[in-house]
Amino acid sequence: MTSPADPLRATERRNPRSVDIDAYDPLQLVELFVAEDSTVPAAVGRARDAIASAVALIEAAFRHRGRLFYVGAGTSGRLGVLDASECPPTFGTAPEMVQGIIAGGLAALTRSIEGAEDSAAAGAMALSERGVHAADIVVGIAASGATPFVHGALQQARDVGAGTVFLTCAPPANTVRDQCDVVIHVDVGPELVTGSTRLKAGTATKLVLNILTTGAMIRLGKTYGNLMVDLQATNAKLRDRGERIVMDVLGVTREIARTAVADARGSVRTAIVMLHDEIGLAAAEARLAEVDRRLRAIVGPPLPVGDGS
């Protein structure tokens, strides 16, 4: 039986600052939540070296046509699925490139599937069903550090030679540190509601996942400066953003930008090259291939922008 002092259950510690939380009025509750949540970015920052190592591993996997798999249960699994689902519209990636796996399957996204996280074999099977292989990388997410489903998936990943990253908000066991390529430990301290890791642990997890995929995509050249030039214009908002990006980069009118994006079959990056070099679609694609699809090599550095004030 796990004792209350077990470091793998650090997420079950009681927070001395919220012992009387049930007697607080709404304003006191808000102030306490804000004060607690303000400590999360610093906790993430203390794990920066491990996070940077994970970004480098993910980038390397992508460059070798590998895929990224997030594996988790409950909140951790939902956050992984969320981050994976946002990569295609933001970075123009194929849905298969980043995938989220949650214990209990798709039904667990909207309701709790009790017991789904307790099977290591189910975690291993989930990876096997997706054909995970040596070129891929698996990020196991377990706020408590002890979710069997996640550890089963990580073991399966190791068995096939895939890269492994473990993200947790509890001190990881030495065996995990020895077996995973990177361990990211974000110590956010006890939750305001004891054991409710959808709070600070969930916030920390979201921050780290944002960095992992966004950092790797930036390293792959998916942005030009801070502009998402590989976005998929799948709705009016994104079409507008794509046209504005072309306008900002090249100083052209909305009409010219819209026509160029259409001529480039929706690719903002290609539209910029077509206009900048005054060439056609095929020539622009060839030009991009020569420079690892990095716009900076063709257009030069982005123009400076104001501070927004």
Per residue, what are the HEC states of 90-103?
HHCCCCCCEEEEEC
DSSP designation for 235: S
Give the whole-angstrom CA distance, residue 85 versus residue 196: 24
Give the whole-angstrom CA distance, residue 46 versus residue 309: 31
Which one of 117, 191, 243, 285 is the catalytic residue? 117
DSSP designation for 143: T
Phi, psi of 168 (to 5 degrees): -150, 160
| Among 159, 163, 162, 167, CA closest to 181 | 163
Q: Residue-wise over 256-289: b if at least 16 C-beta within 10 A, else e?
A: bbbbbbebbebbbbbbbbbbbeeeeeeebbebbe
Give the whole-angstrom CA distance, residue 89 versus residue 231: 5
Count of beta carbons in the 10 Å neighbourhood of residue 4: 8
Residue type, 121: A
Q: Is 278 a catalytic residue?
A: no
Count of beta carbons in the 10 Å neighbourhood of residue 291: 13
Q: Is 255 a catalytic residue?
A: no
DSSP designation for 178: H
Tokens of 11: 């997420």
Tokens of 237: 């908002």
Q: CB neighbours of 276 closer than 8 A, spacing ≥ 6?
A: 250, 298, 299
What's the chain's length in residues?
309
Count of beta carbons in the 10 Å neighbourhood of residue 99: 20
Active site residues per annotation: 86, 117
